[in-house]
């Protein structure tokens, strides 16, 4: 069940602050390859990502997002792990919808962005680290290093995901997911036919039983799509 907005135990989440968008843009100037986009994702894209991750608001939980789900998720909710949270475009929307249910981890490499996110959203476990260490990051937080995450939301660019390469992050991410878990990854429509984007879609289909892609979300700069990969194949 989605959290009841009238529930007194529900965690309040502040709305996005435009100054954090400006901070993100400043970090792009500092580290363009790792930051991977000039401006953070829009609220429209964040809603599409959260719909793919947790199911549309007001609807029963999406296929593959069991709820309630002990033991990883506290308070009877899912374990949600965000990769490359940036200034929190997706983090705010996911945290608002979770309302304090379950566990919500947000991994971010850039220490300035991670620090600011932790300040803004104390209900989220912000992890200032490299996603390459994902299984260890989960284990030190008392979660299984494989098979224990319900939802991974990736805001990473190609430089961190490395689709189609021997050191691709995608098999690692798939291995962290519970049976029936879901990976949500966004991409830009205008680069969809570039080699890394095609490699990413190919790898998702190899690693997951079901892959769907939304229509273009035009209210984002640049316009974007959202891939939802469910049912990780077990090797």
Ligand X SMILES: C[S@@+](CC[C@H](N)C(=O)[O-])C[C@H]1O[C@@H](n2cnc3c(N)ncnc32)[C@H](O)[C@@H]1O
Give CA–CA dist 95/146, Å, rounded.
Answer: 23
**3-state secondary structure string across 120-137:** HCCCCEEECCCHHHHHHH
Q: What is the smallest separation between the CB atom of 106 and ligand X, expressed in angstroms?
A: 9
The binding site for ligand X (CB under 6 A) comprises 34-37, 40-41, 84-86, 89-90, 107-110, 113, 130-132, 155-157, 160
Q: What is the smallest separation between the CB atom of 133 and ligand X, expressed in angstroms?
A: 9
149 in Cβ contact with 71 (< 8 Å): no
45 in Cβ contact with 92 (< 8 Å): no
- For ligand X, the closer CB: 131 or 200: 131
- For ligand X, the closer CB: 177 or 184: 184
Q: What is the smallest separation between the CB atom of 26 and ligand X, expressed in angstroms?
A: 12
- For ligand X, the closer CB: 71 or 159: 159
Helix, strand, coil percentages, rounded to 5, for the chain? 35, 20, 45
φ, ψ (nearest 5 deg) of residue 45: -70, -40
- For ligand X, the closer CB: 37 or 67: 37
Q: What is the smallest separation between the CB atom of 205 and ligand X, expressed in angstroms?
A: 23
């Amino acid at each position: 069940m989605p959290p009841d907005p009238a529930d007194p135990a529900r965690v309040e989440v502040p709305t996005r602050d435009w100054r954090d968008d400006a901070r993100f843009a400043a970090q792009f100037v500092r580290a363009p390859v790792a930051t991977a986009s000039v401006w953070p994702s829009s609220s429209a894209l964040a809603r599409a990502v959260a719909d793919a991750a947790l199911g549309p608001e007001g609807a029963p939980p999406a296929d593959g997002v069991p709820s309630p789900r002990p033991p990883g998720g506290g308070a009877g909710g899912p374990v949600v792990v965000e990769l490359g949270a940036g200034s929190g475009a997706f983090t705010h929307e996911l945290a608002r919808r979770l309302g304090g249910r379950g566990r919500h981890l947000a991994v971010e490499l850039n220490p300035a962005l991670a620090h600011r996110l932790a300040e803004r959203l104390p209900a989220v476990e912000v992890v200032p680290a490299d996603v390459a260490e994902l299984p260890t990051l989960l284990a030190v937080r008392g979660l299984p290093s494989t098979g224990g995450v319900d939802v991974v939301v990736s805001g990473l660019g190609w430089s961190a995901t490395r689709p189609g390469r021997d050191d691709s992050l995608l098999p690692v991410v798939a291995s962290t997911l519970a049976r029936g878990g879901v990976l949500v990854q966004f991409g830009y429509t205008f680069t969809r036919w570039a080699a890394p984007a095609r490699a990413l879609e190919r790898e998702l289909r190899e690693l997951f039983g079901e892959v769907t892609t939304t229509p273009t979300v035009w209210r984002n700069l640049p316009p974007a799509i959202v891939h939802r990969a469910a049912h990780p194949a077990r090797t």
